[in-house]
Structures are given as structure tokens and as C-alpha cells.
Amino acid sequence: MLAFRVLSKGSGNARRLVVSAAAKVNLALEVLSRRADGYHEIATVMHAVDLSDRLVLEEADALEVRTTAPGVPTDERNLAHRAAAALRKAAGVDRGVRITLDKRIPVAAGLGGGSTDAAAVLVGLNRLWGLRWPAAQLDEVAVELGMDVPFFLRGGAALATGRGERLAALGGAVLALVLVNPRFPVSTAEMYGHLTPAMYSDGARAQAVARALRGRGVNRLAACLYNGMEATARAAYPQIGQMQAALVAAGALGAAMSGSGPTVFGLARSLEQARQIQRRVGRARWECWAVRTLRGPAIRIRTNGAG
């Protein structure tokens, strides 16, 4: 079932929507193999976290994206733009939208920022354009935009396999995390380019993280956080190892890189402890957030009205 929450009710013919789009972390990320089509088979446990971009969608004649975020294109290269164009084509509608994108999730950071924006546009336009598409239909458009996009349509936690698009929902308690970003981007394509068969593994670590998440034992979970790209990323960008060490020295139970980096996250016992760790690790050169995992939707329609 597609899960998104309307926090303030409004008319079905909204002309303007405000949508929040949450980031994710990878509690485990394994690369299993390289396929003949060039994609990699992966096994990953993703969890939505409460660090979110904000998108305003307004009816317009054409498709338009506005943002002041550095390093984020506003043309067809923007995933929010591509999501709107793909949905318009798939639905056969002749409608436009002006998307104003307030980026709070760091860009090219391993936190899925572009993918969650794309999911937010699909959910928002489904409402704004009055399409009433069911989840399965939105999924078909989502997967064409990126392997993480179907995850963001659901939120919560999931074990993802295949190219990342096959999802099994996971439950578990709300976790407190500290995210640390070194204020430079790392390209996902570059990191996948560094992969060699020596870094491949069999998926057992992602299964172990999925079990630990269900078991609710935070120490056990901390012990099995894993990212198969981390060693290469640390070699290329030593700050990644330094951020992990700083998190553990400040009291995190365990720390790992998210996605293809460079953001790392540490697991804390509580949000209060996460804030303490954030204060200790947060230095001028690193950006730091204390966040909670989201058990509910990653995409939320915040307001709905003529505004």
C-alpha cells in the first residue's frame, strides 16, 4: 500500500501543495555481483530518516524547477523535473507544474536526495493533477527514474535486493542517528567505478542487519552495520574514516557510510545522546545532524490549499 500522510486536509482540487521528502541511510549495503547489463546486484537495508527537502508544487502551464541550491540543475537533469515529465507522459495529461525545491539534504551525499525529491513529485502530482493512481502504478514510473525511488514511495525501513528495486518492508523501533557530511560531494558513478569483485559479498550481512532491526537490540544492530564500498571510499577520501572514528570516540555505538558516501552515520542510544554526539563531532568543516528514523512515510503532503 502506498503510504503518504495528509497533515492538513484540503479540497481535492488543490492548486498548490507543500511536500516534504525525507532522506535515507543504508544500514547495510552489499554489492553481490555485476550483471551482464552493467548494473550491480545489491542487497541493502534502507531506512528513512527525518532530514527532509521541502518542495512546493504549483499548477503552471509548463514544467519548471526552481532552486537556489548550489550544484543542483533546474533543467531535465533534475530528478524532480524528470519525475514530473515522466508522470505527465505516462498519464497522458497536458498539465504543467512549477516546483520550488528547498534542499536541506546534502547533494551527492549518499542520502538519496534526488530520489526522494522524485518520489515527492510523483506523490504530489498524483494529488495536484487529480490522477488517483494506485501505488503499483506510481511504482512503474518510479523505477524508471532510479532504483531508490520506489523505496521513497513507501518509507520506513526495507530490505532491497535486485538492483535495489525489490523491496521487503521491515519493522523495528525508532533509532537515533547522527549524520556527518564532510561538505564535499562524491559521485555515485565514481564509487561504482571503483568496485572490483574483491568487494562483492553474499548478502548475509544485509540479512543480519534486517534481523537485528526486527530484534530491537540496538547493540546488536550497531555491531553489524556494513557498507561494502566503505574501504574504497575511505582510501579515496580519508575524511570518511576520520568522521567514523570521531563518531565512535564521541560515544556512537557503531558507525558506517551511507550509500556511496561520503556521509557517515553513527548509531546512538537515544535522541538526547545523538545530540550530545552531534555537539562533540560537529566542527566547522563537517556538517552534522541528530535525526530519528521514520517508521512511517518518507513523503508527506504538509499543506494543501490555494495559498
| String marking each residue 205-244 x if it binds ligand ATP according to CB under 6 A | ----------------------------------------
Check: CB of residue 114 under 8 Å from CB of residue 21. Answer: no
Active site residue 148: yes
The 8-class DSSP code of residue 94 comes to -
Report the amino acid identity of residue 185.
P
Q: Is 155 in the site for ligand ATP (CB under 6 A)?
A: no
Region binding ligand ATP by CB under 6 A among candidate stretches 74-82, 133-141, 196-204, 295-303: 74-82
Q: Would you say 44 or 126 has its CB closer to ligand ATP?
A: 44
Active-site annotation holder among 24, 53, 103, 139: 24
- Entry field: residues in the chain: 307
- Give the whole-angstrom CA distance, residue 172 versus residue 149: 22
How many residues sit in the footprint of ligand ATP (CB under 6 A)? 21
- Which phi and psi angles does 267 have, rounded to 5°? -95, 130
- Give the whole-angstrom CA distance, residue 155 versus residue 95: 28
Q: Which of residues 170-199 bind ligand ATP (CB under 6 A)?
A: 188
Q: Would you say 224 or 257 has its CB closer to ligand ATP?
A: 257
Active site residue 24: yes
Cis bond before residue 262 (omega within 30° of 0): yes
Report the amino acid identity of residue 131.
L
C-alpha separations of 251 from 28, 173, 226 in Å: 20, 20, 18
Q: Which of residues 102-121 bind ligand ATP (CB under 6 A)?
A: 107-115, 117
Q: Would you say 50 or 223 has its CB closer to ligand ATP?
A: 50
Q: Cβ atoms within 10 A of the Cβ of 77, count?
A: 11
- Could you say which of 7, 68, 73, 76 contacts ligand ATP (CB under 6 A)? 73
Region binding ligand ATP by CB under 6 A among candidate stretches 56-64, 73-81, 201-209, 270-278: 73-81
Q: Would you say 261 or 273 has its CB closer to ligand ATP?
A: 261
Q: How does DSSP assign 252-292, residue by residue?
A: -SEEEE-TTSS-EEEEESSHHHHHHHHHHH--TTSEEEEEE
Q: Is 259 in the site for ligand ATP (CB under 6 A)?
A: yes
Active-site annotation holder among 75, 94, 148, 202: 148
Catalytically active residues, by annotation? 24, 148
Instruction: Catalog residues that contact ligand ATP under the rule CB under 6 A.
Output: 71-73, 77-80, 107-115, 117, 148, 188, 259-260
